[in-house]
């Protein structure tokens, strides 16, 4: 799975907002602050924040005292929902949902692999919240994946050409 810049930047912006979340005393954070802190191009970030606002993740206010804040508790925002808003379905094959992919033999079993891949992505992305990313405390299933010795091992295949 390739995480797009849009998703990476969007989740990082939400984490900045989550780190400043206080339901008793809502604080607005300027887009410029987020952009500088996270090294995100401001124009790109503004478009992402607009998408997140239109989809109910953030609230914004214009003006000198304006800025952005989360619309709800960081415990209630899972990464999968952010990915879907910014990039579409978690898993797609040529733009088709895995359950709609049909192959002829001998590749017929490949459709099952794409379904399994989506389930695996869901098991992580639908359980991890912004609050968990901030705290570094993840559910047992995610923690087990992180504890796997292969977690930090790349398996790049290089062409001999």
* CA-atom Rg of the chain in angstroms: 19
Assigned domain for 160 exists: no
pLDDT at 115 over 70: yes
**Mean pLDDT value of segment 36-50:** 97
Which has more pLDDT, 101 or 160? 101
In a domain? residue 36: yes
Residue 127 sits in a domain whose CATH number is 1.10.10.10
* Within-domain flag for 161: no
- Backbone dihedral angles phi then psi of residue 101, each to the nearest 5 degrees: -80, 130
| Predicted local distance difference test score (pLDDT) of residue 159 | 66
10 Å Cβ neighbour count for 16?
A: 19
pTM: 0.90
Number of structural domains, the chain?
1
Supply the range of the domain harboring residue 144. 5-152
Output the pLDDT for position 160.
65
pLDDT at position 127, please? 96
In a domain, 118, yes or no: yes
């Amino acid at each position: 799975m390739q995480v797009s810049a849009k998703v990476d930047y969007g989740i990082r912006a939400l984490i900045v907002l989550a780190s400043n979340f206080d339901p008793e005393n809502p604080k607005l954070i300027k887009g410029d602050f987020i952009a500088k802190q996270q090294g995100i191009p401001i124009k790109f970030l503004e478009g992402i924040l607009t998408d997140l606002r239109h989809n109910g993740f953030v609230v914004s206010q214009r003006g000198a005292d304006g800025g952005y804040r989360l619309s709800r508790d960081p415990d209630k925002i899972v990464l999968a929902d952010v990915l879907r808003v910014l990039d579409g379905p978690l898993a797609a094959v040529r733009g088709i949902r895995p359950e709609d992919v049909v192959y002829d033999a001998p590749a017929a079993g490949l459709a099952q692999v794409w379904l399994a891949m989506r389930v695996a992505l869901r098991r992580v992305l639908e359980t991890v919240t912004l609050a968990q990313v901030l705290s570094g405390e993840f559910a047992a299933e995610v923690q087990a994946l992180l504890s796997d010795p292969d977690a930090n091992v790349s398996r790049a295949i290089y062409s001999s050409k």
